[in-house]
Chain A
Amino acid sequence: DGGITQSPKYLFRKEGQNVTLSCEQNLNHDAMYWYRQDPGQGLRLIYYSQIVNDFQKGDIAEGYSVSREKKESFPLTVTSAQKNPTAFYLCASSIQGTSGGTSSYNEQFFGPGTRLTVL
């Protein structure tokens, strides 16, 4: 089955610790994205990557880091510099990133999310 997976589903960390959230997709999608969602709010973009070995900051990148060494994987590290890391984190992928006329059809497919709680 093709899809996008995130692990773990629930994650707890102590304040001051870095933690890495996993995101894997076997859809052969070029672009991948990380969003953060707080209770009662919409999603906010943290980072995105349109191709391997390249990524761009989203709206709230401070305190986060990413890598894109493989097409299938886009891990997100929540560093100790992130002042309020407790949130629901969602990963997504799409066929292509910025491009010409066909990019309007590249809807994003989302993973199930990881709920991070800082104790």
Chain B
Amino acid sequence: DAKTTQPPSMDCAEGRAANLPCNHSTISGNEYVYWYRQIHSQGPQYIIHGLKNNETNEMASLIITEDRKSSTLILPHATLRDTAVYYCIVRVKGYSTLTFGKGTMLLVSP
């Protein structure tokens, strides 16, 4: 069962903000939203996670709607090196494994 829905691909111009959406309409109260990205032929890299408050770190910002049914990952100034597949994952608190879908392929162009 797909717990998250993401667009298969998005484009972004270098230097602009990249806003990657994720729908998780069946999320339950004890599930966190995680974002990972995978650059071609490399292992995935953790970006950020959150429960219900918006979060920001040195890589990105995570905006979660008040009803928690969707979220947006924001890369404020996309660079060519941000070209990757971005995975949105919901995970139960206290459970260790991750379930990856197909993610969104973000292409950052000059």
Interface contacts beyond A33-B97, A110-B44: sample of 8 additional A-B pairs, CB < 8 Å, sorted by A? A41-B102, A58-B97, A97-B96, A104-B94, A106-B96, A107-B34, A110-B45, A113-B41
Chain A interface residues toward B at CB < 8 A: 31, 33, 35, 40-45, 48, 50, 58, 88, 90, 92, 94, 96-101, 103-113, 115
Closest to A113 in B: B43
Q: Is the Cβ of A42 less than 8 Å from the Cβ of B100?
A: yes
Chain B interface residues toward A at CB < 8 A: 32, 34, 41-46, 49, 51, 87, 91, 93-103
20 contacts between A and B (CB under 8 A): A33-B97, A42-B100, A42-B102, A43-B44, A43-B98, A45-B97, A45-B98, A48-B96, A58-B97, A88-B41, A90-B44, A92-B44, A94-B96, A98-B95, A99-B94, A103-B94, A103-B95, A106-B96, A107-B46, A112-B42
Smallest distance from the beta carbon of A105 to chain B beta carbons, Å?
A: 8
Q: Which of A105, A108, A111 contacts B98 (CB 8 A)?
A: A108
